[in-house]
Chains A and B, each alone.
Chain A
Amino acid sequence: MLLEAKRVAKTAIMVSFVAFFVVMMVRAIVGAYMLTPTSTAEDLKGLPLWEIPLVYMWDYAQHGWTCLGFAFTVAGLFAEFIPKDFMTRYMSSGKPISYLVATLIGPLFCVCSCTMVPIFAGVIYAGGGIGPALTFLLVAPANNLLADIVTIQVLGWRIALADIVAAGISAVVIGYTVSRTPWGKRFEAQFKKNQASAASVELVKQPVDERLWSALKFGGYLAKKIVPAFILGLVVVSYFQAFFPENIVKAYLTGPLGVVFAALLAGPLYTPTLIEVVLGKALVDLGMSPGATIAWLMGQPYDIPNAISTSRIVGWKIVITYGILAFAFSVISGLTYEILVGM
Chain B
Amino acid sequence: MSLSKTMKIEVIGPEPACTRCKSVMENAEKARTRVREKGIEVTVEKLNILSREVVKRYGVLVSPALAVNGVVKVMGRVPSKEEIERLLTSA
- List chain A positions with a Cβ less than 8 A from chain B: 79-80, 84-85, 87-89, 91-92, 109, 114-115, 117-119, 121-123, 125-126, 128, 194-196, 199-204, 206, 210, 214, 217-218, 221, 225, 313
Contact = CB atoms under 8 A, between A and B. Distances in A.
A308 B20 CA distance: 23
A221 B20 contact: yes
A114 B30 CA distance: 24
Contacts of B87: 204
B76 interface: yes
Given A202-B72, A203-B74, A206-B83, A125 B58 contact: no
Contacts of B50: 117-118, 121, 313
A210 B55 CA distance: 29
A80 B77 contact: yes
B73 A195 contact: no
Query: A-side binding surface: helix, strand, loop or mixed?
Result: helix
Nearest to A124: B55
Given A85-B75, A92-B60, A204-B87, A114 B70 contact: no
Interface in B55-82: 55-63, 67, 70-78, 80
Nearest to A191: B52
Contacts, number: 99
B55 A122 contact: yes
Interface in B1-24: 13-14, 18-20
A201 B74 contact: no
Contacts of A206: 83
B59 A119 contact: no
Contacts of A194: 56
Interface string B30-60: 0000000000000000000110100111111
Contacts of B60: 88-89, 91-92, 119, 122-123, 126, 128
A167 to B, nearest CB: 22
A206 B58 CA distance: 21
A122 B74 contact: no
Nearest to B61: A122
B56 A200 contact: no
Given A204-B87, A206-B83, A118 B73 contact: no
Nearest to A224: B19
A117 B59 contact: no
Given A87-B62, A118-B14, A118-B50, 6 more contacts: A84-B76, A88-B61, A122-B59, A125-B52, A200-B72, A214-B78
Contact of B59 (A92, A115, A221): A92
A196 B57 contact: yes
A208 to B, nearest CB: 14
B75 A125 contact: no
Contacts of B83: 204, 206, 210
B74 A200 contact: no
Given A118-B49, A118-B50, A221-B20, A201 B76 contact: no
Nearest to B71: A202
A79 B78 CA distance: 12
B72 A115 contact: no
A84 B64 CA distance: 12
A125 B56 contact: yes
B12 to A, nearest CB: 9
Nearest to A125: B55
Contact of B62 (A88, A121, A225): A88
Contacts of B72: 200-203
B77 A114 contact: no
Contacts of A225: 19
The 3 closest A-B pairs by CB, nearest first: A196-B59, A122-B60, A125-B55
A269 to B, nearest CB: 24
A218 B79 CA distance: 11
Given A201-B71, A202-B72, A203-B74, A114 B14 contact: yes
